[in-house]
Amino acid sequence: MADVQRFAITVPSAPGTHAAPEVITVHTTGALGDGGGLICADAAGSLTVEITGETALVLTPSGGQHRCLHAVLLP
């Protein structure tokens, strides 16, 4: 099995709140999504995404209003 990779996912604040975005670290699960991207989840399991390139597609129903987020591979 490949090494576990970590990604930083940027989740924007709700429109009109002027709050800072939240950055969440997710880890690979070893699974691939329907689109062929890596399936990643946060430690609590509350955010699950499929990452392709620098795009994170939210798979968790409670992932909020944003379905497509920015992902950055962490060292």
Average pLDDT of the residues of the chain:
89
Residue 67 has pLDDT above 90, yes or no: no
Q: Give me the residue label for tokens 């939210």.
A: 58
Question: What is the reported pTM?
Answer: 0.84
Q: What is the pLDDT of residue 62?
A: 62
Alpha carbon distance 57, 20 (integer Å): 21
The number of residues making up the chain comes to: 75
Determine how β-strand 6-11 pairs with β-strand 55-58. Answer: unpaired
- Give all strands (DSSP E) within 1-75, no chain letters: 6-11, 22-32, 38-41, 48-52, 55-58, 68-74
